[in-house]
């Protein structure tokens, strides 16, 4: 069943894209920081999982428990130390956007450089749960299924957290209107830092999960950043459900392109989709009317 193969692999890929994009959606939607170094953090988490697995035999699932809190703390620190001065300096939201893009662009090269020094430029992968499983007549590796399952689980947990808890409600308030949130007693800076850190925890999760079935190298972060950006904008900034749908669409589009057109054209199709959405509906698939 060729078509089932294609659709299944597209959905699994899409689930990963959605997970990768959710962290960025939080960082950009709530903390208003367009983090161009985002993909480098994904790859850094992948390398961490790789090291833990090959050197210490620790399973990637356990690595999640280490990588997520670590990345939360690191990103929280980045927001507090590097981004807060920019937030204070910015005269308008537009100025903050430009400044944050420039600062994280510098960060991208620093993180990438550190990884290049530590691991070199060669491609890396490891074999974890590479057991074939059959679903509706199509064979899938267990590690991919597990990764996609965990991705959906994390997405649902995040949505529940944002919708059902007090902290989640406060985060959504900051996302909707950072100027009005302090009026109801919300410490905007603290919540922005928390959301930025939470985005960091998600980026670590996606990095670890991706490493289970994906061959990666130190200079690949930019690709993940691009994909995450496309998904975030397609799904609507700060919209977790939108990111999930957009991620799935992107994954399907890629696997269909690779199967029926040409593997070398997937990125071109990515961009065509991205541009089409921007031109027709700049606020994303589920976005409200233009601000």
Instruction: Give the binding site for other proteins (CB under 8 A).
Output: 34, 36, 82, 85, 89, 94, 97-99, 101-103, 105-114, 116-117, 222-223, 226, 229-230, 233, 262, 264-265, 267-268, 271, 274-275, 278-279, 282
Nearer to other proteins, 90 or 129 (CB): 90
Nearer to other proteins, 68 or 115 (CB): 115
Distance CA 262, CA 49 (A): 32
Nearer to other proteins, 66 or 82 (CB): 82
User: Min. distance of Cβ 146 from other proteins in angstroms?
Assistant: 30
Nearer to other proteins, 107 or 173 (CB): 107
Residue 56, token pair as written in the block: 């210490």
| 3-state per-residue secondary structure call for 85-131 | HHHHHCCCHHHHHHHHHHHHHHHHHHHHHHHHHHHCCCCECCCCCCC
Q: Which of 284, 289, 283, 290 is nearest to 235 (CA)?
A: 284
User: Min. distance of Cβ 114 from other proteins in angstroms?
Assistant: 6
**Those residues with Cβ within 8 angstroms of residue 20's Cβ, 6 or more apart along the chain or in another chain:** 42, 203, 206, 210, 224, 227, 228, 231, 247
Nearer to other proteins, 160 or 275 (CB): 275
User: Min. distance of Cβ 268 from other proteins in angstroms?
Assistant: 6
User: Min. distance of Cβ 19 from other proteins in angstroms?
Assistant: 20
The helix (H) or strand (E) run that includes residue 140 is strand 138-141
The helix (H) or strand (E) run that includes residue 62 is helix 60-78
Distance CA 105, CA 90 (A): 17
Nearer to other proteins, 14 or 39 (CB): 39
Q: Which of 228, 236, 233, 9 is nearest to 138 (CA)?
A: 9
User: Min. distance of Cβ 217 from other proteins in angstroms?
Assistant: 13
User: Min. distance of Cβ 171 from other proteins in angstroms?
Assistant: 21
């Amino acid at each position: 069943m060729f078509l089932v193969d294609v659709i299944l692999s597209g959905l699994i890929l899409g689930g990963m894209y959605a997970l990768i994009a959710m962290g960025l959606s939080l960082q950009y939607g709530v903390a208003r920081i367009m983090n161009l170094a985002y993909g480098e953090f994904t790859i850094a988490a992948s390398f961490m999982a790789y090291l833990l697995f090959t050197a210490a035999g620790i399973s990637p699932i356990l690595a999640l428990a280490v990588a997520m809190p670590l990345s939360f703390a690191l990103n929280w620190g980045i927001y507090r130390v590097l981004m807060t001065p920019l937030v204070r300096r910015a005269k308008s939201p537009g100025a903050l956007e430009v400044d944050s893009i420039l600062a994280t662009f510098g960060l991208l090269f620093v993180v990438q450089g550190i990884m290049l020094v530590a691991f070199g430029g060669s491609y890396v992968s490891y074999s974890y749960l590479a057991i074939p499983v059959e679903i509706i007549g199509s064979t899938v590796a267990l590690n991919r299924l597990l990764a996609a399952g965990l991705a959906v689980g994390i997405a649902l947990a995040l949505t529940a957290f944002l919708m059902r808890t007090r902290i989640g409600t406060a985060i959504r308030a900051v996302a909707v209107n950072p100027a009005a949130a302090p009026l109801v007693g919300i410490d905007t800076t603290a919540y922005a830092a928390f959301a930025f850190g939470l985005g960091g925890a998600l980026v670590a999760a996606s990095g670890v999960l991706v490493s289970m079935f994906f061959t990666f190298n130190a200079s690949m972060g930019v690709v993940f950043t691009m994909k995450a950006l496309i998904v975030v904008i397609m799904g609507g900034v700060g919209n977790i459900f939108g990111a999930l749908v957009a991620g799935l669409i992107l994954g399907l589009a890629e696997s269909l392109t690779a199967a029926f057109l040409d593997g070398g054209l997937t990125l071109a199709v990515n961009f065509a989709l991205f541009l089409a959405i921007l031109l027709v509906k700049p606020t994303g698939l589920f976005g409200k009317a233009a601000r």
